[in-house]
Structure 1
Amino acid sequence: MKKRIISLLVVFALCSTLFFKVNVNAESTNQTIKSDTGKEALNYNVINGSKGDLLKKLAGNTVSNDGEHKLLGDYLFEKEPNNTFETANDLPLKTYVVGTYDSSYTDVDVYKVVIKSDGLLKVKTTAGKSNYTLASAILHDENGNLQEKAAMQYEDSGTISEYNVTSGIYYITAFNSENSINVPYILSTSFRPEVYAPKVKSISDRDTKITGSAVTNSKVYLFANKKPLNNGTLVCDSKFSVKIKPLKAGTKVTAYQVYSGYKSEVVTLTVSDKTPPKTLKVNKITSKTKTITGKTEASASVEVKKGKKLLGKAKANKKGVYKIKIKQQKKGTTLTIIAKDKAKNAKTIKVKVK
């Protein structure tokens, strides 16, 4: 038991080293094997048996088709030596690799995965029913930093480790935590990109396009009061732009993006009012006028100024009619009439006292 504990510590020490300088002398022959899909697989280090014998040992221990992994049948075989970062086998996401540990308990197998965006990486190891501890895995980034697990699940046939990762190159190290030899295993990965809600710039009732940022190569979908504004716009260089007809102030615009089949949360914006009152009329003003009258946008605030001096103000009624009491002004005096809507958009006219 003491020897076993020491051996286990040795394996962990090896796995935590940056380049895993382990020399494995496998007493076996390398054979090139094709997967059942007809694609050439990685070379598998055959130990005391054939491909068929290996798969027979693993029968009943495949990962279920959960939408994140492919069913066993489209798989690769490990290629020895692969016990350092430099000799790591390339492992595409969502693909199984079948491997085994040689006659040395210090044997580790290293796989290189490339992550193109931030997200959640899952690593599944399977090594026999009720013997999930026979295959364990850890993750390092390309600088050799050990990555902390976000979560871990145990199943009868294996373990699933989850990691929150950013884009970059990573190395998965599979090792035998029980120090048994000739242990076959299956290792697979899946990745769920982090798809955040798109960032949409504020929209006004004068805009003829909607712009913002999202994940490159995703598609952004826009809706105005639940009616579609586009059929999905492809995002290039993290930016998108969608031409629209001006929307009415107060309209609710919703947006989300879809990337690699994953839909983001929905973001909602309200179209702002940037349009000043369309109408501003003033009735004739003379040197005898004590009340200025006219018409503008309903409920707008109206002011009368002489230069910077405020002479009076009032609020237009529901029909847009306003009345403002002022002191009589001399003939030829220039007055400024300003109408502001609720959004503080202003329309201004100047009139001379008759």
Structure 2
Amino acid sequence: MKALKTLFSSLVVVCLFIIIPSVAFGQTNGEPAKSISKTNIQLNKSIGKTIIKTTPPSSLIKSKIKGQSYTDAGDYQFVTDGQYVDLLSDSYYTYHDIYFGTVSNYSSDKMDIQVIDSSDYAYYKDTITTIEFYKNIGSTLSFAGYTQFDTSGYYNTNLHSYVTKADYSNQQYIYIRLGLSDTIYDTYYSDTTLFKVKNPYYVAPVVDTTPPAKPYVRAISDKDTTVSGTAEANSTVYGKLGTTTIGSGKADSSGNYSFTISSQKAGTTLTFFAQDAAGNKSGTVSVKVADKTAPANPTVYSVGDNQTIVNGKTEANAKVTIKLGSTVLGQGTASSTGDFIIKLSAVQKADTTLTIYATDLAGNQSSGTSLKVLDKTPPATPTVNKVTYLSKSVTGTGEKGSTIYIYKGTTLIGKATVDSYGKYSATISLQVKGSKLEVISMDKAYNQSKSVYVTVY
């Protein structure tokens, strides 16, 4: 079959020399391609059959040639304008010198990628040259289209591929796989080469290496669950407690941001920084959580009308104030354990209402604890009028509202309440002359007076 193909090709060559001028597919000077140097390559537009396709040709399933992997960007050599690329041998054992021409402007949206295929023969060779294009997507090459050229009848062919510029707008290089085949129906290339060229229409992205300014963070208290402030527009602000991120939020186009956090303990130091879209981080801003929570109402032990020292417990290191109405009766500072001792300016009357306040170091004041002064003072010793063996009552004076008790030994023989005039009269049974009676006064707070002893006459 190969012999028949060779014979047929030879006859075609003879006929073409007789009837057809050598003017197809660019330069056809009749000289072997090897004699062309990169200084005398003419980059003329291809004439003849150019097939432009965007779906993979059947050749994409062919096995590797020369140990190359056409999907590995690292296997593509870099060549510059006019540079010799490779020597390929086709199925006729005809050599092809491959040169890269240039990438030029074809139109506002297309570029002309020029490759020269210079062969030893015009007909006795693989006549189909396929140029595949690839893009680098994450270090793995992705197929982007291909063109095919029929070089039958020409020694030196300038191959022009018109590629859309936008397809390579983000590509620094154009990756090219060139393969030779006898017909477009072949399932294998006879030989291939891989190379990459610079994309002159690639514009490198501007890399943002400038960190944003430190964000402004509004004051945060132990009652707050929202952080807000201003930062570089569209940057993201992060809040941290130590190494733990407690929240984040993106600034809008005006630089305003807001995000939710859990409430933090007063005195805690939080740090904040802004990070822009390029990953640049600002310096950190430290914010101390303010104390806006009032201390709990202090606990006060009982206060009697016979004492000037008040004891109790409250928030550690809080200031404690005791007031009668708006008058301050005493002040003191709680210890690190919250215990306090305050001396009043004077004893207070029983049933007087005092208010005790706690104020923490941040100036937050409790609502106050109300406390009534207890009656701790015993009533005055009652007076007793003369009692005879004929008396049916015991009379005298005592503290208003107190109760008078009359005892004979351990036996209660009478009692009475002192009236609003300070007088009392307790009914008793007739007593034997010479009997001893004990008279005691007890107020409403159960404070007991001293006893008065009388003898029955």
TM-score, normalised relative to structure 1: 0.56
> 1:343 Cα deviation (Å)?
1.9
For the Cα contact (< 8 Å) 2:357–2:365, is it kept in 1?
Answer: yes
Q: Distance in 2 between matches of 1:343 and 1:246?
A: 17
> 1:307 Cα deviation (Å)?
2.8
Match 1:210 to one of 291, 306, 310: 310
Q: How many positions carry a matched residue from both structures?
A: 239
CA displacement, residues 148-200 of structure 1 (integer Å, 9 cap, x when unaligned): x9xx9x99323352425499xx7968799998611436453313155222222
Q: CA separation of 1:166/1:187 partners in 2, compared to 1, >3 Å: closer, same or farther?
A: closer
For the Cα contact (< 8 Å) 1:121–1:165, is it kept in 2?
Answer: no
Structure 1: gaps of 5 or more residues: 1-46, 70-118
Structure 2: gaps of 5 or more residues: 1-207
Q: Distance in 1 between matches of 2:260 and 2:286?
A: 10
Q: Distance in 1 between matches of 2:404 and 2:369?
A: 36
Q: Look up the SS of the partner of 2:317 in the other structure.
A: coil
Q: Look up the SS of the partner of 2:263 in the other structure.
A: strand
For the Cα contact (< 8 Å) 2:400–2:419, is it kept in 1?
Answer: yes
Indicate the residue corresponding to 2:372 in structure 1: 270
* 2:350 matches 1:249: yes
Q: Residue type of the partner of 1:257?
A: A
* 2:234 matches 1:234: no
Q: Distance in 2 between matches of 1:140 and 1:129?
A: 23
Q: Residue type of the partner of 1:351?
A: V
CA displacement, residues 132-159 of structure 1 (integer Å, 9 cap, x when unaligned): 7x23446589xx9x99x9xx9x993233
> 1:297 Cα deviation (Å)?
0.8
Q: Look up the SS of the partner of 2:217 in the other structure.
A: coil
Indicate the residue corresponding to 1:26 in structure 2: none
Indicate the residue corresponding to 1:338 in structure 2: 440
Q: Look up the SS of the partner of 1:262 in the other structure.
A: coil
> 1:292 Cα deviation (Å)?
0.6
* 2:412 matches 1:307: no
Q: Residue type of the partner of 1:286?
A: T
Indicate the residue corresponding to 1:48 in structure 2: 209
TM-score, normalised relative to structure 2: 0.45
CA displacement, residues 88-113 of structure 1 (integer Å, 9 cap, x when unaligned): xxxxxxxxxxxxxxxxxxxxxxxxxx
Q: Distance in 2 between matches of 1:299 and 1:171?
A: 61
Q: CA separation of 1:161/1:183 partners in 2, compared to 1, >3 Å: closer, same or farther?
A: same
Q: Distance in 2 between matches of 1:353 and 1:318?
A: 28
Indicate the residue corresponding to 1:157 in structure 2: 257
Q: Distance in 1 between matches of 2:364 and 2:269?
A: 25
Q: CA separation of 1:309/1:227 partners in 2, compared to 1, >3 Å: closer, same or farther?
A: same
Indicate the residue corresponding to 2:322 in structure 1: 222
Q: Residue type of the partner of 1:234?
A: T
Q: CA separation of 1:269/1:256 partners in 2, compared to 1, >3 Å: closer, same or farther?
A: same
* 2:290 matches 1:191: yes
Q: CA separation of 1:343/1:292 partners in 2, compared to 1, >3 Å: closer, same or farther?
A: same
Q: Distance in 1 between matches of 2:240 and 2:312?
A: 38
Q: Residue type of the partner of 2:360?
A: Y
Q: Residue type of the partner of 2:396?
A: G
